[in-house]
Amino acid sequence: MNDSIVCDTPDKILAYQLLAIRSALKLEIAGLKHSRGSVAQKVRYLMSVRTRDKKELLAIYESYLKSVNVLK
């Protein structure tokens, strides 16, 4: 059975990128490091948020994803 997903429109590609950032932030909260620096720092910059608490940052980011209908 083939369960692959194809992101073939700009909206789907952007949604995939936003979800990949969410996954990377979850892994960073769990203790893993990203080879290209802090994911939390990039999310803070993108969201214009100043919180240092990564779990709170994840909650803010997930609420943003829900507001733009990327996450249910």
Instruction: Render each residue's pLDDT in the chain as its tens digit; 72 residues.
Output: 678 889 999 999 999 999 999 999 999 999 999 898 999 999 999 999 999 999 999 999 999 999 999 999
Containing structural domain, residue 50: 10-67
Cα(40)–Cα(38) distance, integer angstroms = 5
In a domain, 60, yes or no: yes
CA 5 to chain centre: 18
CA 37 to chain centre: 15
In a domain, 2, yes or no: no
Query: pTM to 2 decimals?
Result: 0.88
Number of domains in the chain: 1
